[in-house]
Amino acid sequence: MATDNTTTGLGGYLHFIFPQPCYDEYFVKFNFFHAQCFSIVLSKVLGYGIILGAVMVKLPQIMKIVNAGSGQGISLIAVMCELFAISATTTYGYAMSFPFSSYGEGLFLTIQTSLIGFLILFFGGNTVGAFSFGAVYIGIMGYLLSGLCPLSVLGALQSINIPIVILSKMLQAVTNYRNGGTGQLSVVTVFLLFAGSLARVFTSIQETGDNLIIVTFIVSTVFNGVIFAQILYYWNQKSKKD
């Protein structure tokens, strides 16, 4: 009877955080010191926390671009590379039937990152390019999520994610260095991306065991950390000048 409760009422919602057999360990046997279940539940909490945070993680960046009416200081190529990486990871996780808590933030990040790309083009005076980009990207994502795309293709896209992530972050880092500042980059957005990718290393190990995903997030953490360090460095430099 206790197991059946996990699919109805409050138990149905708790089951997202406390999957079996952890639900029974905690709420039937009251074994609150089960080490393996602690790791599983912590991973679920972090995973859904990342997804909730991803709903608005790039909103500060979007608002900063809109308020400035410019994407100055943001590398369009870096944004497109990042969009590729996020899209590949999301569609790969979906196709592999990984738990939603292990990749769900990608759905929100793809929307926000593609919007940033659109705004950079739009405010850069390339209106046709902006709307063409939006239409093409929607079409590509529709195909990748439709189930029509071979899993081997999605795996190949995921496998080249690591150099793509490195390229996107290094392009932005070089742009920051050449400009002597971080332009319209949002410190809140960059920090949340760094913290999120760091947490994803743990949740990916726990929930997927997929080496491609794990290494991708390790690399992403390192290079998001580089961009965040640049923001802090140039922020301090600006403060000293003031």
Q: Are residues 222 and 203 in the same domain?
A: yes
Phi–psi pair at 94, nearest 5 degrees:
-65, -45
Of the candidates 140, 171, 169, the residue with the CA atom closest to the CA atom of residue 157: 140
Place of tokens 């995973």: 47
Q: Are residues 19 and 131 in the same domain?
A: no
Least confident of 13-27, 114-128, 200-214: 13-27
Q: Are residues 184 and 205 in the same domain?
A: yes
Q: Are residues 29 and 146 in the same domain?
A: no
Work out the burial of residue 22: count CB atoms within 10 Å of its CB; fewer than 13 is exposed, 13-18 middle, 19 or more buried. Answer: buried
Work out the burial of residue 168: count CB atoms within 10 Å of its CB; fewer than 13 is exposed, 13-18 middle, 19 or more buried. Answer: buried
Q: Are residues 27 and 98 in the same domain?
A: no
- Tell me the per-residue pLDDT of 135-165, one tens digit each, with 9 for 90 and over: 999 999 999 999 899 999 998 998 888 898 8
Indicate whether 181 pLDDT > 50: yes
H helix runs in the chain, sequence order: 9-17, 22-27, 35-54, 59-68, 76-95, 105-123, 127-145, 151-159, 161-179, 187-207, 211-241
End-to-end CA, the chain: 67
Q: Are residues 81 and 12 in the same domain?
A: no
The count of structural domains within the chain is 2
Collapsing DSSP to helix, strand or coil, 2 comes out as coil
Tell me what pLDDT residue 74 has.
Answer: 86
Which pair of tokens denotes residue 150?
Answer: 């071979």
Of the candidates 197, 190, 168, 192, the residue with the CA atom closest to the CA atom of residue 234: 190
Which pair of tokens denotes residue 35?
Answer: 């080490």
Indicate whether 40 pLDDT > 50: yes
Q: Are residues 22 and 130 in the same domain?
A: no
Q: Are residues 149 and 111 in the same domain?
A: yes
Q: Are residues 21 and 69 in the same domain?
A: no
- As a whole-number percent, the residues of the chain with pLDDT over 90 amount to 33
Q: Are residues 8 and 89 in the same domain?
A: no
Tell me what pLDDT residue 22 has.
Answer: 78
Q: Are residues 71 and 10 in the same domain?
A: no
Q: Which range has the top average pLDDT, 119-123, 173-177, 190-194, 198-202?
A: 119-123
Tell me what pLDDT residue 87 has.
Answer: 94
- Tell me the per-residue pLDDT of 98-118, one tens digit each, with 9 for 90 and over: 888 888 889 999 999 999 999
CA gap 173, 227 in Å, rounded: 6
Q: Are residues 152 and 90 in the same domain?
A: yes
Q: State the residue range of the domain holding 20.
A: 4-33
Tell me what pLDDT residue 6 has.
Answer: 41
